[in-house]
Amino acid sequence: MEATALSVGKAVLDGALGYAKSFVAEEIALQLGVERDVIFIGDELEMMQSFLMTADEEQDRHKVLLTWVKQVRETAYNVEDNLMAFAVHSEKKPICFYIPRNLWERRRIGKEVKELRAKVEDVSNRNLRYRLIKGSGSKPTTAAEEQANVATVAMMGINEANRTAMKLENSVIDFRQLITSEDKGRSVVAVWGATADLRTTAIQDVYDDPAVRANFGFRAWIKLAHPFIRKEFIQSLVRQYYENFPEAIGGTHKRRTIGVSVFMKMESMSQSEMLDVFDTKVSDNSYMIVVDDVSTKEQWDCIENYFPDNNKGSRVIVSTQQAEIARLCTGKEYLVSELKQLSYNQSLYLFHKKVMLSSNSSNENLEISSSEILEEDNQPKDEDGDKVFYLTSGKKFNRSRTMDQFDEILLLGRTTDKSRVIELVGQPHDGQGCKVISVWGMGGLGKTTLVQSVYRSPQLGNWKRAWATALRPFNPEQLIRKLAGDLGVATNGEFKDLTETLTQKLKQERCLIVLDDISSTTEWDFVGNCLKNAMRIIITTREKSIAKHCSKEVINMHNLSGLEDDVALDLFKRKVFKDDFEKNKISPDMTEQARLIIKKCDGLPLAISTIGGFLATKPKTSTEWRKTYDRINTELEINQELRAIKTVLLRSYDGLPYHLKSCFLYFSIFPEDHKIRRKPLIRRWVAEGYAREMHGMTAEEVGDMYFEQLLDRSMILPGGDVNIYSGKFDSCQLHDIMRQICISKAREENLAFTLEDGCSFSSTQGTTRHLAISSNWNRYEQDFIQTMVDLSHVRSLTVFKAWRSFYIYKKMRFLRVMDLEGTQEVRGHQLNGIGEFIHLKFLSLKCCPGIHNLPNSLGKLSNLQILDIRGTCARELPANVTNLQKLQFLRAHRVLVPRGIGKLNALCTLAHVELYEKGQGAVKELAQLHQLRKLGVEGNTKTNNKEFWSAIRSLNHLQSLSVSWYCRGSDNYKLDSPLGGSLLPPRSIESLKLDGPVVRLTEWIHQLQNLTRLLLRGTGLQQDAIQAVGKLPNLAILNMGIFSFKGEELIFEQGSFPSLVLLEFIQINDASSVKFEDGTMPKLEVLRIKLDASDGELQELSGLRYLTGLKEIQLDLWRCLEEKVINVLDQLVGHQNNVRVLRNDDY
């Protein structure tokens, strides 16, 4: 919640700052005489933004700070709303006529501006008044809450792993027995797990037990300060000695309280006297010291030296939130026993030495917990060479065998993944330095479990191995010391000496290093240099960009994906039925409910295992499983046993920078399982102000970068295969559980609300900024929606399928985005009032067939940037559309453009519009659209063809061009007849589509050296034109459609098409033979062929063996052409690549 509040606050401030510093705001302020107030407001908002960035870096986010952040957010919204309201008036009239003639009106607006200034000033002053943000110089050194979350997940893993592996009962160890055992040596017991309060309670129970106290002559409890101060540490120990033994104070202490007496005694003592007292007491007595909140190895190294081994049965109890610190405090030969299980995924653990348990203990038959872990070094081996471990109860087991049993469950469906990683480890490395293998994917997929299995694999033979997990806060020295210790390097010297010794060790021996949970490139850079001599390193990370940074080569990156449905069901049943898995056959009804639950988990092993383990304790009936499915979203919020799922996934969210958090929360408006298209989403981000121009990049390019970053971080999932044309994913989806996190976070901030079946209006407090209306929402009363939800501040309206005219509410005066795509029932006349929403920047009416005419008020939308009317029945744009000076993106389908289109000089995309004779003037005006990057026109005729090519020749930014002809009656002209000589298409074109007869292509195609994609249809090209196309150096995609080639034999000659990656044949009617010569298309990877019954003339397809880069052939053929398939398969026999052949049913 804290991170969300900060991120949303900063995103809102971005928008408010944009308006506060805009030209309109400055002009109005100047005319009204309040320019100083508006400048002050802008400056204060900028300062608040800086404060929020500092707060985001701080880790001690308290409630007062969060309250202030929310106030900042609301104030920023208020500023933005008011400035936008002023802009409404300025848009209605020219600025010189806007200034109110009425003195009362002038005073009213001036008063509002001053009130706005007062609000901003008051909120700003609260930060100073309450000292909410300390600044970067005072950031604490630990992140307690994050450590607790990490500990929760780690503990759940230890519980589950060892209970499964060791098959023991879940009894608990007696803490008192460890402390009072007959072992005379000084021993350290480290308590790790759960929360600080629960650890303190467990230790306090033992510390205050009279039977325990009787064993020790000196006791003390130290809460460590951060940073550690030796003097205060000793003073605290001596003070507690005098408090426990007041008679040692001497003098007249009986006339005073103990506290006063101790204070006076301490004040009278010199530092050397205090050291003498302390040294005497710990040397001459059996002592019990509790050291609370040890967070670094350096702290422990300082502390340990003060507690000598006096052979009197002394004990030091350490409380820590880090498992690694607990291990280091206890020493190399240690055991881990479960002290107490608090819930399914919360436990307390004791790290201790094996020798502490006495064979003469009164509880000889004590059965130690199943979560015992073991001595790590110098274990005996069995006859197979496997290490043998001893539990504290004296039981012996073979770790390899028990862990193999455990792997069988947790590695279900991961056999291929494991083999691949082992293969990468074993493969020779041709590059410089160490080979780094990255296993990446979203949280909860089991990356650590997979790598653990690889790490233990006997297939790696006699490799030396070391493992370290990147704890938070990140401590590179601690991590390197852990790795060095695993490899047998002494860790108690100077760090510089240690790294030199480690470097030599890595040079001399074959070592495998595992770095688990690397979360930034900075972390890798810290430790990577120390490990550059390692033969192999495996890292796990959630982010693709980090994996790429570490591994350098894509071949060394392994992306872990979710489980297939059948494997997921198998894992679910094993977790529910445990040892009785084989005996239980579930009914069809239970299988149906199980599959619904698994669908919600979406292949995530963590979610499947946790929910399965939760249901293991419940009645095993379809009714119980149905109940769980129905309330699973609520259970994830409130059920301690299931919250570990959210804890893991929330780490990914919390690690996002603030600009990505805002973009991610925007996904909350989309329905479950909805495929979210990339480009429309990015354009919405731009309209909302989430993506802005920066560092020479357009706002849309920045949005595209944000989309890729969310994919790389596994916050969103690809919605399909990579688009071979763009090389990118065209769509995305949200994991169901990640979507619940997204919705929950968005509602916390009143950012988004969805009207859907079963929605609760109690959760909407204050104003909502983004409103979505689902297709399953069936409350159609106008008054209901307008009274239950405050719509006056809504920034976006998204309607999915179902439509009611009152969804467009006149009070939505700040609306920026209106997306009605796919609403079948909407009619043109219902949009007549759309011109009132003058802040609208994004309007999508795509696939709204009920719209036959666009409203004339469309021309009033002076801020409109994006207009998509594809799939409507509108055939003409209103004449006043030329007033839309900010319009950048206009997509239509065969819509006639009016004269004056040249005024829209901000247009970057114009497609696909008609250019009949009536639009002759519009054709010439294309030359004025200098920002055009994408142009699609239909209806080129003999009359306007030359004017068209002349108009676009000067469009130097044009990257994509689509031209379709229009043949009427006896018209007999060629699409490119004017081209050649001095009249050529723009050289900047990268994508070209020609739909119509072409005769002069050989005279101009060579000019398009940047061309990467060419689509041909009806062009009637002959062999010489194909040869000319084949000489283009960068052409990667060639699509040959119906009637694109004219001739009996189509030949791709030797040396042609050097960069082609994809070749498509779609109904090439004339050619009877297609031949590939040796040396053609060396980089071709995919060949697509689509033929129907009318393409029976194609008799021969030869030379496939010469396509040396070919990886896949996709065939979409009618059944009557089955012999063509056989011909293709015969040619691929003996091909150097393992070429996949897919039928139309397979892709």
pLDDT in tens, 870-888: 999 999 999 999 999 999 9
Alpha carbon separation from 138 to 59, 141, 298, 662 (Å, rounded) = 11, 9, 21, 27
Residue 164 has a pLDDT of 36
**Region 140-158 average pLDDT:** 43
Alpha carbon separation from 1039 to 514, 1065, 1085 (Å, rounded) = 47, 6, 14
**Region 1-12 average pLDDT:** 51
Look over the chain and give the mean of its residue pLDDT values, rounded to a whole number: 79
Does the pLDDT of residue 520 top 80, yes or no?
yes
Whole-angstrom distance, CA of residue 190 vs CA of residue 331: 10
Residue 1093 has a pLDDT of 60
Concatenate the DSSP letters of all residues of 837-891 into one string.
Answer: -TT--EEE-TT-TT--S--GGGGG-TT--EEE-TTS---B--GGGGG-TT--EEE
Does the pLDDT of residue 402 top 50, yes or no?
no
Tell me which of 350-364, 995-1009, 1088-1102 is least confident.
350-364
Give the rounded distance of the alpha carbon of 285 from its chain centre.
56
Whole-angstrom distance, CA of residue 1041 vs CA of residue 830: 41
Tell me which of 334-343, 637-646, 841-850 is least confident.
334-343
Amino acid identity of residue 1121, one-letter, is L
Whole-angstrom distance, CA of residue 1077 vs CA of residue 1107: 9
Does the pLDDT of residue 362 top 50, yes or no?
no
Residue 262 has a pLDDT of 75
From the number of C-beta atoms within 10 Å of its C-beta (0-12, 13-18, 19+), residue 552 rates as middle
Residues 6+ apart with CB under 8 A from 952: 926, 927, 935, 958, 961, 985, 986
Whole-angstrom distance, CA of residue 120 vs CA of residue 11: 17
Q: What is the pLDDT of residues 431-488, one digit of tens each?
A: 667 899 999 999 999 999 899 889 988 888 888 999 998 877 788 888 998 899 889 8
**Region 565-579 average pLDDT:** 88
Residue 666 per-residue DSSP state: G
Helices (H), 616-677: 622-630, 632-638, 643-654, 658-665
Residues 6+ apart with CB under 8 A from 65: 55, 132, 133
Give me the numbers of helices (H) and strands (E) for the chain, helices first please: 38, 38
Q: Count of residues for the chain?
A: 1147
Whole-angstrom distance, CA of residue 968 vs CA of residue 380: 92
Whole-angstrom distance, CA of residue 283 vs CA of residue 314: 10
Cβ(1080)–Cβ(1106) under 8 Å? yes
Q: How many Cβ atoms are within 10 Å of 493's Cβ, its own excluded?
A: 11
Cβ(932)–Cβ(963) under 8 Å? no
CATH architecture of structural domain 660-749: Orthogonal Bundle (1.10)
Cβ(805)–Cβ(829) under 8 Å? no
Report the candidate in 741, 522, 647 with the shortest Cα–Cα distance to residue 147: 647
- pLDDT level of residue 732 (50, 70, 90 thresholds): very high
168 vs 1014, more confident: 1014
Residues 6+ apart with CB under 8 A from 1119: none
List, in sequence order, every residue forming a beta bridge with 187; answer none if it has no partner: 315
- pLDDT level of residue 731 (50, 70, 90 thresholds): very high
Q: What is the pLDDT of residues 151-160, one digit of tens each?
A: 444 444 444 4
CATH architecture of structural domain 411-559: 3-Layer(aba) Sandwich (3.40)
Structure tokens at 684: 């919405």
**Region 1019-1046 average pLDDT:** 95
977 vs 1051, more confident: 1051
Whole-angstrom distance, CA of residue 849 vs CA of residue 869: 10
Amino acid identity of residue 294, one-letter, is V
Residues 6+ apart with CB under 8 A from 118: none
Mapped to the 3 state alphabet, what secondary structure does 66-102 carry? HHHHHHHHHHHHHHHHHHHHHHHHHHHCCHHHHCCCC
Residue 394 has a pLDDT of 40
Whole-angstrom distance, CA of residue 390 vs CA of residue 372: 10
Report the candidate in 1012, 1003, 937 with the shortest Cα–Cα distance to residue 976: 1003
Q: How many Cβ atoms are within 10 Å of 470's Cβ, its own excluded?
A: 22
Most confidently modeled of 96-105, 225-234, 463-472, 763-772?
Answer: 463-472
Most confidently modeled of 220-234, 314-328, 701-715, 799-813?
Answer: 701-715
Does the pLDDT of residue 405 top 80, yes or no?
no
Residue 332 has a pLDDT of 63
Alpha carbon dihedral 1090, 1091, 1092, 1093, in 10-degree steps, equals -170
Cβ(1018)–Cβ(995) under 8 Å? yes
**Region 495-514 average pLDDT:** 91
From the number of C-beta atoms within 10 Å of its C-beta (0-12, 13-18, 19+), residue 509 rates as middle
Residue 378 per-residue DSSP state: S
Tell me which of 397-406, 1050-1059, 1102-1111 is least confident.
397-406
Alpha carbon separation from 39 to 108, 120, 758 (Å, rounded) = 19, 12, 46
Whole-angstrom distance, CA of residue 57 vs CA of residue 918: 61
- pLDDT level of residue 1122 (50, 70, 90 thresholds): low
Cβ(567)–Cβ(446) under 8 Å? no
Tell me which of 198-207, 398-407, 536-545, 1002-1011 is least confident.
398-407
In the chain, % of residues over pLDDT 70: 75
Beta strand 1073-1076 with 1100-1102: parallel, antiparallel or unpaired? parallel
Q: Which residue has the tokens 């003058």?
A: 838
Residue 546 has a pLDDT of 94
- pLDDT level of residue 768 (50, 70, 90 thresholds): confident
853 vs 62, more confident: 853
Q: Where are any strands of DSSP class E within 980-1079?
A: 991-995, 1013-1017, 1037-1040, 1049-1052, 1062-1066, 1073-1076
Whole-angstrom distance, CA of residue 930 vs CA of residue 957: 7
Does the pLDDT of residue 140 top 70, yes or no?
no
- Domain coordinates in residue numbering, the chain: 2-138, 145-216+286-401, 411-559, 565-646, 660-749, 1012-1147
**Region 720-741 average pLDDT:** 85
Report the candidate in 1, 135, 68 with the shortest Cα–Cα distance to residue 654: 1
**Region 843-866 average pLDDT:** 94
Structure tokens at 972: 């007999």
Report the candidate in 1128, 1097, 1102, 1133 with the shortest Cα–Cα distance to residue 1113: 1128
Angle CA 38–44–48, to nearest 5: 145
Q: How many Cβ atoms are within 10 Å of 31's Cβ, its own excluded?
A: 16
φ/ψ (deg, to 5) at 58: -75, 150
Q: What is the pLDDT of residues 651-703, one digit of tens each?
A: 888 888 878 988 999 999 999 889 999 999 999 999 988 898 888 888 999 99
- pLDDT level of residue 143 (50, 70, 90 thresholds): very low
Residue 652 has a pLDDT of 87
Residue 367 has a pLDDT of 32
Helix (H) or strand (E) holding 506: helix 495-508
Taking phi over 0 as left and psi of -120 to 50 as alpha, with beta for the rest, 847 belongs to left
Residue 975 has a pLDDT of 86
Cβ(455)–Cβ(466) under 8 Å? no
Whole-angstrom distance, CA of residue 544 vs CA of residue 711: 8
Whole-angstrom distance, CA of residue 105 vs CA of residue 712: 53
φ/ψ (deg, to 5) at 65: -60, -45
Amino acid identity of residue 199, one-letter, is R
List, in sequence order, every residue forming a beta bridge with 1004; answer none if it has no partner: none
Entry pTM = 0.73
φ/ψ (deg, to 5) at 574: -65, -35
Residue 354 has a pLDDT of 62
Residues 6+ apart with CB under 8 A from 1102: 1073, 1074, 1075, 1076, 1131
Tell me which of 340-354, 796-810, 938-952 is least confident.
340-354
Cβ(173)–Cβ(366) under 8 Å? yes
In the chain, % of residues over pLDDT 90: 33
Sign of the alpha-carbon torsion through 946, 948, 951, 953: negative
Q: What is the pLDDT of residues 280-320, one digit of tens each?
A: 888 888 999 999 988 877 788 788 888 888 888 999 999 98
From the number of C-beta atoms within 10 Å of its C-beta (0-12, 13-18, 19+), residue 129 rates as exposed
Residue 185 has a pLDDT of 87
Whole-angstrom distance, CA of residue 550 vs CA of residue 537: 10
Q: What is the pLDDT of residues 188-229, one digit of tens each?
A: 999 987 677 788 888 998 998 888 988 898 889 988 877 777
Residue 194 has a pLDDT of 64
